[in-house]
Chains A and B, each alone.
Chain A
Amino acid sequence: MTTVIMRTTARAIVPIILVVAISLFFDGHNLPGGGFIGGVLTTTAFAIVYMGFGLDFLERGILGRDVDPGKEPSRDRVVLAYRRLFAYGFALAVASGLAPLLFGKPFLTQTFAMLEGVPIYDHLEVASALAFDFGVYCVVVGGLLTILSVVGAE
Chain B
Amino acid sequence: MTAMPVGTASTLVIAPMLVVLVAAAGTLLLGRHPRARTAVSLAGGAGYAIAVAAIDWYIVLAPDAPGIATYQVGDLPAPFGITLVADGLSAFMLTMVATLGIASLVFSTRHLPDGERRSYYFPLFHFLALGVTGAFLTGDLFNLFVWFEVMLMASYVFVAYSGGPQHTRAAFWYVSLNLLASAVFLLGVGGIYATTGTLNMADLAQRLANPAAYGLEPVPVVGLLGLLLSVFAIKAGLVPFQFWIPTAYRAAPPQITALLAGATKKVGIYAIIRLSFTVFAGAEVAIDLPLPLVGVAITGDSPLPFIGAALFVMAAGSILLGGIGAVGRDSMEGVFAYSSIGQVGFIAIPVAIATTAAGPELRRFAIIAALVYALNHTLAKGLLFLAVGTVRSATGTSRFADLGGLAKRSPPLALAVFVGSLALVGIPPLSGFFGKFLVFDAAARAGSGPVLVLLLVGSLLTIAYATRLWNRSFWGARTDAVEAATVDPVQVAILVGLAVAIIAVGVGFEPVYEFAETAAEAALDTEGYVDAVDPQAASDLGGLNGGGH
Contacts and interface: CB of A to CB of B under 8 A. Distances in A.
A53 interface: no
A100 B71 CA distance: 14
A36 interface: no
Contacts of B21: 94, 97
B216 interface: no
Nearest to A93: B25
A105 B116 contact: no
B542 interface: no
Nearest to A104: B6
A148 interface: no
A100 B75 CA distance: 10
Nearest to B17: A107
Contacts of B31: 83, 87
B25 A105 contact: no
A83 B28 CA distance: 9
A44 interface: no
B312 to A, nearest CB: 41
A86 B28 contact: yes
Interface residues of A, number: 20
Interface in A56-110: 74, 83, 86-88, 90-91, 94-95, 97-98, 100-101, 104-110
Most chain A CB inside 10 Å of its own CB: which residue of B22, B24, B25, B71: B25
A109 B28 contact: no
Chain A, interface SS category: helix
Nearest to A95: B25
B14 interface: yes
B490 interface: no
A107 B14 contact: yes
Interface size class of chain B, counting residues whose CB lies under 8 Å from the partner chain: 10 to 19
Contacts of B71: 106-107
Contacts of A109: 74-75
B444 interface: no
B25 A90 contact: yes
Given A74-B116, A94-B21, A98-B18, A106 B4 contact: yes
Contacts of B116: 74
B73 interface: yes
B345 to A, nearest CB: 38
Interface string B6-28: 10000100100010011011001
A90 B74 contact: no
Interface string A98-126: 10110011111110000000000000000
Nearest to B116: A74
Given A87-B31, A98-B18, A106 B25 contact: no
B28 A106 contact: no
Nearest to A87: B28
Interface string B75-92: 100000000000000000
Contacts of B28: 86-87, 90-91
A50 to B, nearest CB: 22
B119 to A, nearest CB: 9
Given A104-B6, A106-B72, A106-B73, A87 B18 contact: no
Interface string B25-61: 1001101000000000000000000000000000000
Contacts of A104: 6
A106 B74 contact: yes
A90 B4 contact: no
Contacts of A74: 116
Given A74-B116, A87-B31, A108 B73 contact: yes
Contact of A88 (B4, B6, B24, B29): B29
Interface in B316-333: none
Contacts of B4: 106
B349 to A, nearest CB: 39
Contact of A107 (B18, B24, B25, B29): B18
Contacts of A107: 14, 18, 71, 73-74
A101 B22 CA distance: 14
Contacts of A110: 74
Nearest to A86: B28
B29 A87 contact: yes
A122 to B, nearest CB: 27
A87 B71 CA distance: 28
A74 B4 CA distance: 47
B22 A94 contact: yes
Nearest to B119: A83
Nearest to A109: B75
Contacts of A108: 73-74
Interface string B206-238: 000000000000000000000000000000000
Contacts of B74: 106-110
A108 B21 CA distance: 13
Contacts of B72: 106
Contacts of A95: 25
Contacts of B18: 98, 107
B24 A90 contact: yes
Contacts of A101: 11
B73 A105 contact: no
Most chain B CB inside 10 Å of its own CB: which residue of A90, A95, A104: A90
Interface in B105-120: 116
Nearest to A101: B11
A91 B29 CA distance: 8
Contacts of B73: 106-108
Interface string B277-297: 000000000000000000000
Given A90-B28, A91-B29, A106 B22 contact: no
Given A105-B75, A109-B75, 4 more contacts: A86-B28, A94-B24, A106-B6, A107-B73
Chain A to chain B: the 9 pairs with minimum beta-carbon distance, closest first:
A87-B28, A108-B74, A109-B75, A91-B25, A94-B25, A106-B75, A94-B21, A87-B29, A109-B74
23 contacts: A74-B116, A86-B28, A87-B29, A87-B31, A91-B28, A94-B21, A94-B24, A94-B25, A95-B25, A98-B22, A100-B75, A101-B11, A105-B6, A106-B4, A106-B6, A106-B11, A106-B71, A106-B72, A107-B14, A107-B18, A107-B73, A108-B73, A108-B74
Interface of A: 74, 83, 86-88, 90-91, 94-95, 97-98, 100-101, 104-110
